[in-house]
Amino acid sequence: MSASKAEQRARTFAVLESRRPPSAPFPKNVYGICLSEDCLKRFGIMICKRMHPTFDETDETQVLVSKFFAIDRIPGLCILGVPDLWLSRWALPFARSDAGVQQVLVLADDGSEENKALALKNSKRVVAKLLRFLGMEEQEPRWYPVQLARVM
């Protein structure tokens, strides 16, 4: 690995580490954005094409697997892609929304008072940038009851 790539990697890890969420008991409710299937598919394909140039987006099995990569990587990509964004959880729990059970990018939660206060830490400008980054401008963050924690 070249020196510039190593330096870039070190800077990336430093940014991620500086915004690591505090540890707290798992919440009953989360404040965030439900990630649509289209969003997960778009990010999954983007990630897999970068990792594997031979990725075939017409293969349904590969696209399904790519969504798992998206679920794992979206929180970190959002932190890096949206300056000043704070997340209270990097795991994406399942929550019930109007569209059914979906995974939520968590901006705040009720696992602790510190995490609950994060709902106010992200300005409307930062949230608007996040929604644009995700390609989900039509959605607004809100509180959702947690249905199931992500198991991994």
CA distance 118 to 75: 15
Per-residue model confidence as pLDDT tens digits over 6-29:
787 777 767 766 666 656 677 888
Per-residue model confidence as pLDDT tens digits over 93-113:
888 888 888 899 998 888 777
Taking the alpha carbons of 136, 141, 144, 149 in that order, is the dihedral positive or negative? positive
Domain ranges (residues) in the chain:
3-35+81-148
Measure the CA dihedral 104/99/60/132, to 10°: -50
By C-alpha distance, which of 134, 43, 149, 152 is closest to 101? 149
> pTM (2 decimals)?
0.77
